[in-house]
Amino acid sequence: MAKPAPVHTIMDQFEVSEQQILVGGKNLDLISAILDKPVFYAYDQAIVKKQIALFHQHMPSTIKLHYAIKANPYPALVQAMRDWVAGFDVASQKEMLLAIQTGMPVEDISFAGPSKQESEIKAAICAGVTLHVESELELSRAISIGQNLGIKPIVAFRVNPAFELKASGMKMGGGPKQFGIDEERLLELLPALDYTTMSFRGFHIYWGSQNLKVEAIQDAHNNTFALAQKLIDATPVEVKTVNIGGGFGIPYFAGEERLDLTPIGTNLRHLLDTYPQLAAIELIIELGRFLVAEAGIYASKITDKKVSRGHTYLMTNGGLHHHLSNSGNFGQVIRKNYPVAIGNKMGADSSSEAVTAVGPLCTPLDTLADKMHLTDPQIGDWLVVFQSGAYGPTASPQDFLGHPHVHEILL
């Protein structure tokens, strides 16, 4: 069988010493001993900081960077992020609590989510975080909860834009959607709202996620600025903030390239010149995986090796219950391999034999690496899945079959 295209370009963020991958300067045996766990996620702070620096290097300096906690809510990471980003986006009361307790100013925390319960709306109003209101009923609930409390809700409208992202990736705008209020309906509502019942902030225009196409992102930004201007024109009070979305993707699969931020930044600078009213207010980009996914690995141990009708299987102590997205069951249509390597044999030539690494679950879906050319994989070696710093443990069915939960470390 032909060897698959090399994926080394998307595993190059980590340091390697004596063929051992290092996370925060430590090899996997050391990390395992520190945690006292044989399978874990490890996140490298230096790589997160590098991604943040990359953002600032290319984006206009006036655009603020917010971290979408849903991508990785590991408390030590979120705490560290407190000093590295300008704000947090939260999607639940639990994430909100985490965000507040890092010491991030509440003015820089926003709460989005299409089905907020009254208790969550109340919690957000009491905390003073900005509600990204996603329906007309949610607005009236927020206003009446605010009136009962004697606290004005801080409101920004999440808009379901009429434009759609022109590319693959996760589309979250255009057509009918559960997210936000349709742009055309909002344009009707805005002139007639009673703004004395709320503390009005602005708009949240979120069009998609995991995008690797420069032109599609530029196009989305062009559409977002045009829409934001229309919304400002229709609003009789001051618009203080526009969140212009996020969506910057990271390469997961062979053949994918890292996103080139240079033309995206250039286009945004041009838009700021074209729309001076927008340039004068607070603009935010909110990112999750772009900041953290490349900084994380998932490391499990090979504990058995067997051959079935000529094909070699590596059995590991990790699996889909810890890392659903790597198994291909978190939104992917066709399963493709994440970059995987033997973490204690980095840099050596990979074997010509294609092997399959699996976990302990009684389902063929529990596949960590399918027919991959790894480097002489043996029992006791570390099987490392890269690009694992986002949508890992908290996006996985950890209780499925009752195996132990996975542990995490930030180094």
Does position 350 interact with ligand PLP (CB under 6 A)? The reply is no
Strands (E), 281-397: 282-287, 296-308, 311-316, 340-342, 355-358, 367-372, 382-385
Does position 206 interact with ligand PLP (CB under 6 A)? The reply is yes
CB nearer to ligand PLP: pick between 211 and 337: 211
β-strand pairing of 170-171 with 208-209: antiparallel
Among 251, 288, 296, 343, binds ligand PLP (CB under 6 A): 288
Q: Which stretch binds ligand PLP (CB under 6 A): 75-83, 202-210, 352-360, 379-387?
A: 202-210
Q: Which stretch binds ligand PLP (CB under 6 A): 40-48, 284-292, 335-343, 366-374?
A: 284-292
Does position 283 interact with ligand PLP (CB under 6 A)? The reply is no
β-strand pairing of 154-160 with 181-182: parallel
β-strand pairing of 181-182 with 130-133: unpaired
Write the DSSP string, 113-181: -TT--HHHHHHHHHHTPEEEE-SHHHHHHHHHHHHHHT-PPEEEEEEE-SS--SSSSEE-SSSS-SSSE
Does position 85 interact with ligand PLP (CB under 6 A)? The reply is no
Q: Please, which of residues 97-116 interact with ligand PLP by CB under 6 A? A: 112
Write phi, then psi, for 139 (nearest 5 degrees).
-65, -45
Does position 286 interact with ligand PLP (CB under 6 A)? The reply is yes
Identify the sign of the CA torsion 237, 238, 241, 243. Answer: positive
Among 88, 290, 298, 338, binds ligand PLP (CB under 6 A): 290
Among 68, 123, 145, 368, binds ligand PLP (CB under 6 A): 68
What are the structure tokens assigned to 48, written together?
Answer: 């997160």
Strands (E), 15-122: 15-17, 20-22, 40-43, 63-68, 87-90, 109-111
Residues in binding contact with ligand PLP, number by CB under 6 A? 15
Does position 289 interact with ligand PLP (CB under 6 A)? The reply is yes
Does position 251 interact with ligand PLP (CB under 6 A)? The reply is no
Does position 59 interact with ligand PLP (CB under 6 A)? The reply is no
Q: Please, which of residues 133-192 interact with ligand PLP by CB under 6 A? A: 172
β-strand pairing of 130-133 with 154-160: parallel
What are the structure tokens assigned to 89, written together?
Answer: 């986006």
Does position 71 interact with ligand PLP (CB under 6 A)? The reply is yes
How far is it, in rounded angstroms, from Cα 69 to Cα 72?
6
CB nearer to ligand PLP: pick between 20 and 209: 209
Does position 410 interact with ligand PLP (CB under 6 A)? The reply is no
Q: Which stretch binds ligand PLP (CB under 6 A): 18-26, 35-43, 54-62, 288-296?
A: 288-296
| Max CA pair span of the chain | 73
Smallest distance, Å, CB 375 to ligand PLP?
31
CB nearer to ligand PLP: pick between 51 and 337: 51
End-to-end CA distance of the chain: 39
CB nearer to ligand PLP: pick between 162 and 170: 170
Does position 209 interact with ligand PLP (CB under 6 A)? The reply is yes
Q: Please, which of residues 372-391 interact with ligand PLP by CB under 6 A? A: 390
Residue with tokens 């949240």: 204
Q: Which residues bind ligand PLP (CB under 6 A)?
A: 68, 71, 89, 112, 172, 206, 209-210, 246, 286-290, 390
